[in-house]
C-alpha cells in the first residue's frame, strides 16, 4: 500500500507543492466516491501519485434590519466538515498501492482544480455532486472545467458504481442500471474524431490509455444529417461520395496511428448519425469514451466542440476530455495520406 498524507492548511504556515499525477475532486457525494475509486485505479495503473482535494467557500449573508453590512459563517466549522470528507476519502483508497496526498482548499472549486491542472497529469471528478459547504464541487466542475483545464479530465457518472464495485441507494441510478440490463463492458476505449488536428491529439491520448488498460482502441467518426453547412448538398449520391471521401481520410489517419502504436489493437467505424447519440450509446458498454475540447466545422458539425459537452451530460460511462496541445507526433500525419482541410 502507498503512503498517505493530509496536506497542512496553508494558513497555518504550510506550503504544499503543486500536485502532480492524478488529482480527484471529492465532496462526500456518491458521485464523488465513484470518481475517487476510478482515480485510485488509474493512479495504480499509471504508477503515479494520487491527490485528493475538496474545496469550500465561506458563505456571506447580507444582514437585515437596521444594522447594515454582512455576516459570515465560522470558517473553522466548515473546514472541519471538509477535512472529515477528505479523511474518509483517504480511508477508502487505503488498500490501493498508490502514494496518496490530500488537501482542503478554500476557494471556488472550479478555480482550485483549474489551477491544479497546470501541474496535474489528469483531473478526475463526478458528473454532479451535492450542495452544502463544498459548494456543489462536482456539479459546477463537471460543467465548467473540461473546456478550460490544462490537462486531460475524466468525468465519472454515478451509473458507473456497478462496474466499479460500488453500491448506492440512488433509486434513479439503480433504475438506469436495470434498464441498461447490466450490459457487459467491452475492454475497449472509444475516441471520437472529426478530421481535425485537435481530434488527432485526442486519438494519441486515447491510444495511450488503451495501452494502459490492455484494451482495443475504437476510432469513431459520426456524420450527422445535413445541417446548415451541408444544406447545399443536392442529392443522396453526394452524401455517398462524402462518406467515401471521409473513409479515405479516416483510413489514412488509422495508418498514421498504427505507426506510432504498432502493438495496439485498433479498429475504426464511420457512422451515419448524431455524434452525441453515437458516442453516448458507445459509453454504455466500453471502458472509456475520449473526445477533444474543440474541433472543426464541416462534415461532422463540430464534433469535438458541441459534442464533447453533449456527451459529458448524457454519457453512461467515464468520459475523458483532452485539451488541445502540441505533440511532435502530429508532424508526420500528412505522410500517410489525405488530411482534411489540407491545401
The answer to the question of residue 122 being in a domain is: yes
**114 and 192 fall within a common domain:** no
Element holding 145 (H helix, E strand): none
pLDDT of 132 strictly over 50: no
**Angstrom distance (rounded) from CA 97 to CA 34:** 18
**130 and 192 fall within a common domain:** no
What's the CATH number where 229 sits?
3.40.50.620
pLDDT of 182 strictly over 80: no
Q: What is the pLDDT of residues 238-255, one digit of tens each?
A: 778 888 989 999 999 999
The answer to the question of residue 342 being in a domain is: no
Residue pair 135/17 in contact (Cβ under 8 Å)? The answer is no
Residue 139's pLDDT is 52
Number of structural domains the chain divides into:
2
For 306, list phi and psi in degrees, rounded to 5: -65, -30
Domain hosting 107: range is 4-58+73-175
Residue 299's pLDDT is 43
**207 and 155 fall within a common domain:** no
pLDDT of 62 strictly over 80: no
**139 and 259 fall within a common domain:** no
**80 and 148 fall within a common domain:** yes
The DSSP symbol for 135 reads: -
The answer to the question of residue 268 being in a domain is: yes
* End residue of a domain, out of 152, 175, 198: 175
**120 and 201 fall within a common domain:** no
* End residue of a domain, out of 147, 175, 203: 175
**133 and 9 fall within a common domain:** yes
Report helix, strand or coil for 190: strand
Report helix, strand or coil for 309: helix
Percent of the chain with pLDDT over 90: 45
Among 46-60, 115-129, 162-176, whose mean pLDDT is lowest?
162-176
Side-chain half-sphere of 250: how many Cα atoms within 13 Å?
Answer: 24
Question: Which residue do the cell numbers 467515464 mark?
Answer: 318
**Alpha-helix residue ranges (DSSP H) falling in the chain:** 30-46, 75-92, 109-116, 137-144, 171-180, 197-213, 236-260, 275-283, 306-314
All residues at 6 or more sequence positions from 13 whose CB lies less than 8 Å from its CB, including other chains: none
pLDDT of 161 strictly over 80: no
Among 158-162, 226-230, 261-265, whose mean pLDDT is lowest?
226-230
pLDDT of 301 strictly over 50: no
**309 and 213 fall within a common domain:** yes
Q: What is the pLDDT of residues 302-341, one digit of tens each?
A: 445 577 878 888 889 999 999 988 999 999 999 999 886 5
pLDDT of 111 strictly over 90: no
For residues 219-228, give the mean pLDDT.
77
**Angstrom distance (rounded) from CA 198 to CA 293:** 8
Average pLDDT over the chain reads 81
**165 and 196 fall within a common domain:** no
Residue pair 79/27 in contact (Cβ under 8 Å)? The answer is no
* End residue of a domain, out of 128, 157, 175: 175
pTM: 0.84
Q: Minimal CA–CA distance to 89: which of 142, 135, 144, 126?
A: 126
pLDDT of 52 strictly over 60: yes
The answer to the question of residue 275 being in a domain is: yes
Q: Write out the three cell numbers for 224.
A: 450527422
Question: Which sign, positive or negative, has the C-alpha torsion 275, 139, 130, 36?
Answer: positive
Amino acid at each position: 500500500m502507498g503512503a498517505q498524507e493530509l496536506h497542512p492548511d496553508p494558513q497555518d504556515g504550510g506550503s504544499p507543492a503543486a500536485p502532480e499525477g492524478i488529482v480527484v475532486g471529492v465532496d462526500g457525494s456518491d458521485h464523488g466516491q465513484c470518481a475517487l475509486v476510478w482515480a485510485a485505479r488509474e493512479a495504480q495503473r499509471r504508477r503515479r501519485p494520487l491527490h485528493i482535494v475538496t474545496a469550500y467557500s465561506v458563505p456571506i449573508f447580507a444582514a437585515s434590519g437596521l444594522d447594515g453590512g454582512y455576516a459570515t459563517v465560522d470558517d473553522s466549522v466548515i473546514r472541519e466538515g471538509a477535512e472529515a470528507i477528505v479523511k474518509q476519502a483517504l480511508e477508502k483508497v487505503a488498500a490501493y498501492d498508490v502514494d496518496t496526498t490530500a488537501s482542503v482548499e478554500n476557494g471556488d472549486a472550479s478555480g482550485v482544480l483549474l489551477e491544479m491542472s497546470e501541474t496535474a497529469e489528469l483531473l478526475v471528478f463526478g458528473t454532479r455532486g451535492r450542495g452544502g459547504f463544498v459548494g456543489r464541487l462536482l456539479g459546477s466542475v463537471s460543467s465548467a472545467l473540461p473546456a478550460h483545464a490544462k490537462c486531460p479530465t475524466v468525468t465519472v457518472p454515478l451509473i458507473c458504481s456497478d462496474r466499479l464495485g460500488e453500491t448506492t441507494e440512488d433509486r434513479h441510478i439503480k433504475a438506469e442500471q436495470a434498464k441498461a440490463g447490466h450490459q457487459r463492458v467491452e475492454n475497449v476505449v472509444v475516441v471520437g474524431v472529426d478530421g481535425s488536428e485537435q481530434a488527432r491529439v485526442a486519438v494519441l491520448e486515447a491510444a495511450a490509455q488503451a495501452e494502459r488498460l490492455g484494451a482495443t482502441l475504437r476510432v469513431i467518426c459520426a456524420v450527422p444529417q445535413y445541417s446548415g453547412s451541408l444544406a447545399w448538398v443536392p442529392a443522396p449520391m453526394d452524401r455517398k461520395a462524402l462518406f467515401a471521401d471521409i473513409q479515405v481520410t479516416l483510413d489514412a489517419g488509422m495508418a498514421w496511428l498504427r505507426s506510432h502504436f504498432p502493438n495496439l489493437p485498433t479498429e475504426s467505424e464511420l457512422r451515419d448519425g448524431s455524434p452525441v447519440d453515437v458516442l453516448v450509446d458507445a459509453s454504455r458498454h466500453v471502458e472509456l469514451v475520449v473526445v477533444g475540447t474543440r474541433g472543426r466545422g464541416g462534415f461532422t458539425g463540430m464534433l469535438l466542440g458541441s459534442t464533447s459537452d453533449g456527451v459529458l451530460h448524457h454519457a453512461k460511462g467515464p468520459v475523458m476530455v483532452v485539451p488541445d496541445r502540441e505533440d511532435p507526433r502530429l508532424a508526420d500525419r500528412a505522410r500517410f495520406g489525405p488530411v482534411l482541410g489540407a491545401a
